[in-house]
Chain A
Amino acid sequence: MTKLTIAAAAALSLFLTAPAMAQDAAMFASPSKLTQTGGENIYKAICAGCHMPEGQGAVGAGKYPALANNANLESAGYPIYLIIHGQKAMPALGSVLDDQQIADVVAYIRTSFGNDFAEPVTVEEVTDAR
């Protein structure tokens, strides 16, 4: 490798790892709030616990619905409401996540796992749903 490409590679790896490190530091940073940012990071930090890493859901005596290919996500208001208020096996996360985090994670699940609901999710929508 030339000096230049080494430097570029180093810069690139810095660029790649810095946010990951920030997310690591965010883990457990507050006992009552999630401090991770960005839809995917938030999803991995808590949602994946029940809805599973690929959004496939899980089944026991009850179930956690799959988010993958989930037509209910078409209306962003639905996941927004559930995240804020909780119901059944879905815990109320309205005080754990702020409006921006909820908007980000809803946007993430609506465009991941085979879902393709591309309209943006606004912070206002979340604020209004509280």
Chain B
Amino acid sequence: MTEFKSGMSRRDLLAMIGTVAGSVAMYNAMTTLGFAQASTYDGPVKLEGDPKGASVLILGAGLAGMTAALELRAVGYKVQVLEYREKAGGRCWTLRGGDKYVELGGFEQEVKFAEGNYINPGPWRIPHHHYGVLDYCKRFGVKLEPFIQTNFNAYLHRTDAFEGKPVRFREALTDYRGHVSELLAKVVNQNALDETVSADDAKLLLESLKTWGVLDENYAYVKSNDTSEFRGWAKEPGGGVDGAPVPSEPMTLSDVLQSRVWQHLVDGDSIEHQSTIFQPVGGMDMIAKGFEKEVGDLITYNAKVTKIDQSDTGVTVTYVDSQSGEGTETASADYCICTIPFSILGQIEHNLSGEMTAVIDSMSYAGSVKFGLEFKRRFWEQDERIYGGITYTNLPISLISYPSTNYFSDGPGVLLGGYSWGATAYQFNAMSPEDRVKKAVEYGAQIHPQYTAEFSNGVAVTWHRVPWVLGCFGIWADKENQYATAAAMDGRTLMAGEHISYLPAWQEGAILSAIDAIKRLHAHVTAA
């Protein structure tokens, strides 16, 4: 994912996790934050050998569960999937006009978005190197379009900088780079780096700083047509009589530094956030629907698993109707793949091993909140020329993301009106949905005054109140020491899902963990 950002900086969050659970959680979080490895997906699964009629019960119809179901049936397993919800996809989820969402506590939100508008309360971006997700999209014909992460024309905003006025990303980036380059050039020219940099390299360093920082012939970062070409103009170049442009005045070094807007300059630079990033046309759940088309016939919906009982010969799972809690039924199979988040699995009666139980019980889940706000018109495009991308702020909403689709359309548009973590998310979680939305509109109006007049309706999803996950993604108590236990086959059961991966909180992690689990299961079955 993720912006653990703005409000809470990446450093704050790492420090916070560091104090809570030690360096392992810290490493774990760093992978989440975008310093992670590329996907190890190596093409469509090829399982060889006959499963000899073996059956598998899969718990949960999120992407992990459906990946396992699809691939296991393809090679000849008898597969049944039990799913709590009335539909498949799990966290891969989209809300559209007409949808109703009831969160824990009974608050119902009815989404009133106009036809075609949507919000992804969970996953919203697919990095270019998440080969597994992208491959399934291709196989299912899920249409993808670019997701705009970095938009140089979007804003950086802090309530305590520039009198609360947002600056354009390009201004902050160009000025920061320009001033830093000028300083470094000064140091080189004072021969202060003679001991570290050879004379030859120093010459090239100066040359490169001039290019990179847009410095003048004296290695100074100044107001000029050249710097305005990067940071933007006071008056844009035009045609005809008054066509001559007017250059803009850079911010001072001190202003740039003191404003702290530089915190967000690298947000789009980690591998997960570098161009090209994708989103499914029409909403993230197009992926869920793609899977569901393939394996929907295997899924028992509205089935709340309440007990997992494994023996030497098989696994029997008890489930009840999700809504009424009644109508106890059982399903049995030779093996089980469990993708139920540990936040919930830890509350289900089971006879997994003691070691596995200890891991399940010690995992906690991160909190997060997302807002979908619909406005009567796309003022960000019409008034501010912002087409997709993300504005960052230190307000409790952390960011505003503009839709990377249907540009220039008339009629209402939906923004991601905020995406926050930590203490902020917990507080939003304790508010009614209406109050959350109201707050998000108030905060957003500090960046876009048009909010007040143009707001139409909104939804807010806080992940600890999502009835079928109870959190956003799993945080290990001690990943280094626990991971092998959690991933190992326990009796006749294998765990899979986002949490059993080194790509936590990414759909790719869910898919890769499922593929790995079924490969090991199949090796076990065919060796028997």
Residues of chain A touching chain B, judged by Cβ–Cβ distance below 8 Å, are 27-28, 30-34, 44-50, 52, 58-64, 85-96
Contact = CB atoms under 8 A, between A and B. Distances in A.
Given A85-B477, A89-B464, A31 B364 contact: no
26 contacts: A28-B396, A28-B427, A31-B423, A31-B424, A45-B426, A46-B423, A46-B430, A49-B431, A49-B464, A58-B105, A61-B468, A62-B344, A62-B470, A64-B104, A85-B20, A87-B364, A87-B477, A88-B342, A88-B363, A89-B344, A89-B347, A89-B471, A91-B365, A93-B426, A95-B16, A95-B19
B429 A50 contact: yes
A58 B477 CA distance: 25
A69 B470 CA distance: 23
Interface stretch (B5-13, B33-41, B197-205, B236-244): B5-13
Interface string B331-348: 000000000101110111
Given A45-B427, A62-B347, A32 B12 contact: yes
Contacts of A46: 423, 426-427, 429-430
A49 B426 contact: yes
B343 A62 contact: yes
A62 B363 CA distance: 15
A58 B384 CA distance: 44
B426 A96 contact: yes
Contacts of A34: 423, 426-427
Interface in B53-100: 84
Contact of A32 (B8, B105, B361, B429): B8
Interface in B400-445: 420-424, 426-427, 429-431
Contacts of A93: 426
A86 B347 contact: no
Contacts of B366: 91
Contact of B426 (A59, A61, A91): A91
B344 A49 contact: no
A31 B347 contact: no
A98 to B, nearest CB: 12
A116 to B, nearest CB: 25
B423 A87 contact: no
Interface residues of B, number: 55
A126 to B, nearest CB: 15
B364 A86 contact: yes
Contacts of A90: 364
B105 A92 contact: no
Contact of B464 (A30, A50, A59): A50
Given A49-B427, A58-B105, A62-B346, 16 more contacts: A28-B396, A33-B423, A46-B429, A49-B462, A59-B325, A60-B466, A60-B467, A61-B84, A61-B344, A62-B347, A63-B347, A87-B362, A92-B20, A95-B16, A95-B19, A96-B426
Q: Which 8 A-B pairs have the closest CB atoms?
A: A60-B467, A86-B364, A31-B7, A49-B430, A62-B344, A49-B429, A89-B470, A31-B8
A89 B363 CA distance: 8
Contacts of B8: 31-32
A80 to B, nearest CB: 15
B511 interface: no
B264 to A, nearest CB: 14
B101 to A, nearest CB: 12
B166 interface: no
Contacts of B322: 61
B426 to A, nearest CB: 4
Contact of B468 (A31, A58, A60): A60
A96 B466 CA distance: 21
Nearest to A62: B344
B475 interface: yes
Given A32-B13, A32-B16, A96 B430 contact: no
Contacts of B378: none
B366 to A, nearest CB: 7
A63 B346 CA distance: 10
Contacts of B347: 62-63, 88-89
A112 to B, nearest CB: 16
B464 A92 contact: no
Contacts of B105: 52, 58
Contact of B343 (A31, A89, A94, A95): A89
Nearest to A95: B16
B522 interface: no
B367 interface: yes
Contacts of B462: 49
B364 A92 contact: yes
Nearest to B421: A31
Interface string B344-370: 101110000000000011111111000
B104 A87 contact: no
B422 A96 contact: yes
A78 B360 CA distance: 18
A91 B25 CA distance: 14
